[in-house]
Copies of this chain bind each other. A is one copy, B any other.
Amino acid sequence: MEAEIFDLVVAGGRLANGAAVDLGIASGTITTIVPAGTLSEEPRVELDGALILPGLIDGHIHLDKTLLGLPWIPHVPGASVRERLQAEKALRRSLPKPMVARARRLVELVVTRGTLALRSHVDIDQEIKLAHLEALLRLREEMKEVIDIQLVAFPQSGVTSVAGAAYLLDAALAAGADLLGGLDPAGIDGDIEGQLDILFRLAAKHGVGLDIHLHDPGELGAYELRRIAERTRASGLGGKVAVSHAFALGAISDAAFGATADALASADVAIMTNGPGAEPRPPVTRLAAAGVTVFAGSDNIRDAWSPYGNGDMLERARHIGYLNGLKTDAELEFALDLVTGNAARVLAFGDCRLVEGGRADLIAVAAANAAEAVAASPPRQVVIKAGRIVARNGQIVTY
């Protein structure tokens, strides 16, 4: 073979099926998969038997909220979502470091941990207006060679209950937001159909998908899920709508769960979970068995909402697997799917399998197979985006 045919050779890795392989990469694509020891071209990276997995995907993060890089800020509790919103806004005004500097630090952190695509919600409210969105659009451009960033215009303060919110969301979509967000139509706005009217109307106007935060509990939340499924079906948005958190799915009767899961599956509405701690949790395997696409995200990473979080999606898969009692190899592989294949489908990033012709977004870890990678969550030795090494051993490579 001629030396110039590959931009990079990934040598001596193992695939999840155990095969020891060399990968030849050109123009961001895996063009050749051959037995280890076959390819001698430069430039190359030697994996010494490490396991190759697809790049990880964070399906739900808030880049504009993180406090990373600032001195420790103690959590200020709030009894209600509204109270915590006020606490967050007060904090936001007091921060010494520009949002985008903190966001950049977080993006660099997640890249070192193997996240190569993410969906970030971005606050749109009367105070911030489009400032966060515009800053993150610029950051996305700046970092496009190391990570794919999807931005959701997120009405953190409400939609129908906040004057001018629909106008701002419309402007955010015109300014380049990839999706429209929503938030607890009942719990925040007190107007389920009112909020959904606006969300589905703006989604249709701009040809974008939806990703709706839903913390509303129990039967109320389940009802809203079914309303979202019905509107998704009616508007032909199947495959482009996700509901994030959906705590309700973890705290309803079997009958209500069955009806709600069926509605979500037939409308092709996906469910995002981060494996919440104290709240009820969507049962990921039951949802998958019902045909619902489930994917995972970090949610808050050291921000006004939570002091926890580190952006490590392999650890997140482990966490969700642990919470859901996933133990067999097949179950652990399903946990990995939440942060790879399933997330890729929801984010419309296409097939992320490691096959000839596939996208050369991958990570290498010391593990025997995907099951061990999830259970042990070992450090990322090499992180490769579109055929370029972007991080090694926890350090980002200059971009």
Contacts and interface: CB of A to CB of B under 8 A. Distances in A.
Interface of A: 71-72, 74-77, 277-278, 302, 306-308, 310, 318-319, 321-325, 327-329, 332, 367-369, 371-372, 375-376
Contact of A375 (B71, B278, B308, B323): B308
A318 B327 CA distance: 21
Contact of A278 (B310, B319, B325, B368): B325
Nearest to A305: B327
B371 A72 contact: yes
A77 B310 CA distance: 31
A334 to B, nearest CB: 13
Nearest to A327: B75
11 contacts: A72-B367, A72-B369, A75-B327, A75-B329, A277-B322, A278-B324, A306-B327, A307-B332, A307-B371, A308-B318, A310-B376
A77 B327 contact: yes
B375 A328 contact: no
A327 B72 CA distance: 13
Nearest to A318: B308
Nearest to A77: B328
Given A277-B323, A323-B277, A324-B278, A74 B329 contact: yes
A284 to B, nearest CB: 11
